[in-house]
């Protein structure tokens, strides 16, 4: 018969907090405590409390060296889109006629001259208001993230978009007089729409990674309303507004790459110090990504519908059975709003698709 004193080993209770520096009572490291960058384990060998312990910021053996293939559809599509808009709606009689019908429809719409005069003050300051919101957001992001390089890159991207628009409109592109419109001064791309979209771009890139899908959706509404307002007021044609959004998208692609490289450098420095990544630098959640992607898909679908509706008018402009001015105005207005809904969610997907693993591209080790 075995004595109870021989088959039981007495255990002395020692509080884990007294033996594990930087750990909580159950042995898991507290927020900000050192963790093993390769395993995601705390100093006590237990899983970190942080639900994202460097999983997507420091992955050994990662092979992603550039954006995923589908992400390249944005810069390619934006570049082709700018060229196609200019070639079709500026350089051809048919394109100018369709564009001008939309502008005339806006001026003669049920909006009314009185309401247009009343709204002119607010629409005049709308791009400025969006710019101030973007600037405030960039400053807040710099304070929250405790670093200024990413916000500076974001501001540079927005500034580059505005400079590119002014160069294209005043120094590079011309509008030929084809006998369609009395106003032959080139207005492609729209400066007002670019200013609003550039502010949204700066805010989007400066925001923490986890918040970018929500910023993209909010920015789509702000930029879309600002751009559509210039059509309603009769200041710009639809091609000017959509072209402005595409110019901002091209500059956003370049600035977004710079932001991703900087965030990758910060992630590597944090991992080398043995610190877990911050929650704001984690990948966005499924809900945010799904909502943003849904908005982009709906925007693309609306763009396709508008294109299908306009193709017959581009083939035979000026026929007796042509739709009314109000029809052209509504199609152009929808196209402007849909373009904004595409650009910013897709820009967010582009930035998020860029490699962030510090080990990506490094020489393999034996």
146 inside domain: yes
Q: Is residue 173 part of a domain?
A: yes
- Asked if 169 contacts 203 with a C-beta cutoff of 8 angstroms, the reply is no
Query: CA-to-CA distance for 211 and 207, rounded, in angstroms?
Result: 6
Choice between 43 and 201, residue whose per-residue pLDDT is larger: 201
State residue 298's pLDDT score: 96
Alpha carbon 293 to chain centroid, angstroms: 11
List, in order, residues 6 or more apart from 88 with CB less than 8 Å away.
95, 314
Domain hosting 142: range is: 93-351
Lowest mean pLDDT among 42-51, 100-109, 206-215: 42-51
End-to-end CA distance of the chain: 56
| Mean pLDDT, rounded, for 112-131 | 62
Say if 9 falls within a structural domain.
no
Check residue 35 and give its pLDDT: 47
Q: Higher-confidence residue: 309 or 122?
A: 309
pLDDT for 305: 96
Residue 79 lies in a domain: no
Q: Give a yes or no: residue 122 inside a domain.
A: yes
Is pLDDT of 256 > 60? yes
Q: Is the pLDDT of residue 199 over 60?
A: yes
Kindly report the average pLDDT of the chain as a whole number: 78
- Tell me, what's the pLDDT at 112? 53
* Residue 19: per-residue pLDDT: 44
**Per-residue pLDDT, 39:** 44
Confidence of residue 181 (pLDDT cuts 50, 70, 90): confident
For residues 262 and 186, the answer to whether their CB atoms sit within 8 Å is no
Task: Classify 24 as helix, strand or coil.
Answer: coil
Residue 365 lies in a domain: no
Tokens, residue 12: 């002395």
Secondary structure (DSSP) of 61-122: T----S--GGGGHHHHHHHHHHHHHHHHHTSSHHHHHHHHHHHHHHHTSTT-HHHHHHHHHH
Helices (H), the chain: 16-19, 73-89, 93-107, 113-145, 149-167, 191-206, 212-232, 238-272, 286-315, 325-353
The reply to whether 35 falls in a domain is no
Total number of domains constituting the chain: 1
Q: Please state, in angstroms and rounded to a whole number, the distance separating the CA atoms of residues 198 and 204.
A: 10
What distances in angstroms separate CA 342 from CA 6, 74, 80, 365, one per listed residue? Answer: 73, 10, 15, 42
Domain membership of residue 49 (yes or no) is: no
């Amino acid at each position: 018969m075995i004595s109870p004193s021989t088959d039981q080993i007495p255990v002395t209770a020692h509080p884990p907090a007294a033996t594990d520096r930087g750990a909580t009572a159950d042995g898991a490291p507290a927020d900000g405590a050192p963790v093993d960058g390769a395993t995601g384990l705390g100093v006590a060998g237990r899983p970190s409390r942080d639900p994202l312990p460097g999983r997507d910021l420091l992955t050994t053996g990662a092979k992603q060296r550039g954006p995923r293939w589908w992400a390249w559809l944005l810069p390619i599509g934006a570049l082709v889109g700018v060229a196609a808009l200019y070639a079709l709606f500026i350089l051809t009689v048919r394109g100018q006629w369709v564009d001008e019908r939309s502008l005339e429809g806006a001026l003669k719409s049920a909006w009314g001259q009185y309401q247009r005069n009343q709204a002119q003050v607010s629409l005049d300051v709308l791009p400025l208001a969006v710019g101030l919101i973007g600037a405030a957001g960039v400053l807040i992001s710099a304070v929250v993230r405790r670093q200024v390089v990413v916000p500076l890159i974001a501001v540079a991207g927005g500034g580059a978009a505005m400079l590119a628009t002014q160069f294209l409109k005043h120094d590079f592109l011309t509008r030929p007089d084809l006998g369609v419109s009395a106003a032959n001064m080139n207005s492609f791309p729209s400066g007002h729409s670019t200013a609003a979209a550039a502010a949204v771009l700066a805010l989007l890139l400066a925001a923490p990674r986890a918040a970018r899908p929500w910023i993209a959706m909010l920015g789509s509404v702000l930029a879309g309303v600002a751009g559509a307002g210039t059509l309603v007021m009769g200041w710009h044609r639809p091609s000017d507004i959509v072209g402005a959004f595409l110019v901002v998208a091209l500059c956003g692609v370049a600035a977004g790459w710079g932001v991703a490289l900087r965030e990758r450098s910060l992630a590597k420095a944090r991992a080398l110090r043995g610190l877990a990544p911050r929650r704001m630098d984690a990948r966005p959640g499924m809900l945010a990504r799904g909502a943003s992607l849904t908005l982009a898909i709906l925007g693309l679908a609306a763009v396709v519908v508008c294109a299908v509706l306009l193709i017959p008018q581009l083939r035979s402009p000026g026929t007796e059975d042509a739709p009314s001015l109000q029809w052209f105005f509504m199609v152009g207005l929808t196209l402007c709003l849909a373009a904004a809904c595409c650009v910013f969610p897709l820009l967010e997907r582009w930035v998020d698709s860029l490699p962030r693993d510090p080990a990506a591209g490094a020489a393999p080790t034996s």
